[in-house]
Amino acid sequence: MKKREIMRIMIGLILLVSFLSIPFIPPMSQYFSIPDEITLFDEQDGYALPAIANSTTSMDQENESVEAFSNNIIPKQPGKSTLFYEWAGMPIKKVNVEVLNDLKVIPGGQSIGVRLHTLGVLVVGHHLVDSGEAKVSPGEEAGIKVGDVILEINGKKVKKVDDVAAIVNRAEGKALKVKVKRNDKEFTTTLEPKYDNKDGKQRIGLYIRDSAAGIGTMTFYHPESKKYGALGHVISDMDTRKPIQIHDGQLVPSNVTSIEKGSNGVPGEKNAEFSIEDESIGSITKNSPFGIFGELKSDIKNNVMDKPMPIALSHQVEQGPAQILTVLEGQKVEAFDIEIVSSVPQKHPETKGMIIKITDPRLLEKTGGIVQGMSGSPIIQNGKIIGAVTHVFVNDSTSGYGVHIEWMLQEAGIDIYKGQKEAS
């Protein structure tokens, strides 16, 4: 009886191991590596599909948007086609292929200064008011938390710190109706200011801020619409660590004055200077997990790669050599060698699509790898813009993450599928 049970267990384990090993058998692993859908651009290079031993491929002839030579798909014109893998004359895999109108943007690399004005005023802390009876924070008592945004007081919109001060002074200690935004929800609360014995003024017990500033790198701009994308990641408040909800903002040129070299465990940093009084080169209308976006007032040049360049979608990015454009001194944009360590084909927007490694000896000597202020530096591979630098690995300053360009284009309002939806 025990022998039968042991045999059953052994047979079960063998079957389990066999089942789990199926994806690793070469023909099966090749089969699973074939994508269900492929998107290509007209006037760009083709795509090499994985090959399965003894298989053949055929195309649906209803739409001649692509040609298939062996396992290579060559785009011919915008449209949709279907490719079939066949084994002994029987279809075993269908691949939907879509060819889009070619899209080109101009790479950036310029160092930029960023000035953001918040939507309302941002609460960055509480402070105690000495009213003689007890030290309290009226704002905290009203349920207002760090990271909240004050939108209105007594029905009047507030856009800057001075607006709040003026309303509080006019109220002369009377209760205030405060409209607050917390994450995606809004609510109204009653705040009762307290008279501060120290300075003889009515206080609400909140530290607030209405603007933020910083530096970053331009990623791309679209020459026809002047829409741009930069930074590759969201701008968060330095105190609350929460994304800044912007009312408006400006871009200005910035000069890199020095670089603090990074090392493992200690990220480096570009030191740059700019003046908000400098003439703005563009607006900032969006601050998202994929960067900042808006429109430029006119064309800008990097004097390295100034011509419109095609883009590569996430499934077209290859492991291997690439370049980034960035500034190490003044406003001079230069190209530096990197390596794409890995890239994940993505169907939905994700901020971490690539792992990159700095290989350029001069850049490593100057910066130690990826440093703060380099975020947004465009990544170029095979003559195409594939994404932007976003984050450095804390424990390895030579390496970090990159975001795929298609998601930044989407956030900028540049539709890579333009003209296809109507035709399909």
**Mind telling me the catalytic residues?**
233, 360, 375
Cα(74)–Cα(54) distance, integer angstroms? 22
Q: How far apart are the first and last CA of the chain?
A: 65
For residue 90, give every residue at least 6 positions away whose Cβ sits within 8 Å of its Cβ, in sequence order, or none: none
Question: Helix (H) and strand (E) counts for the chain?
Answer: 7, 33
How many CB atoms are located within 10 Å of the residue 424 CB? 10
For residue 336, give every residue at least 6 positions away whose Cβ sits within 8 Å of its Cβ, in sequence order, or none: 323, 324, 325, 326, 358, 360, 362, 363
Cβ contact 130:198 at 8 Å? yes
N residues, the chain? 424
Cα(166)–Cα(208) distance, integer angstroms? 14
HEC-encoded secondary structure of 45-110 = CCEECCCCCCEEEEECCCCCCEEEECCEEEECCCEEEEEEEEECCEEEEEEEEEEECCCEEEECCC
Q: Return the ∠ at Cα 96 (arms to 91 and 97), rounded to 5°.
A: 125
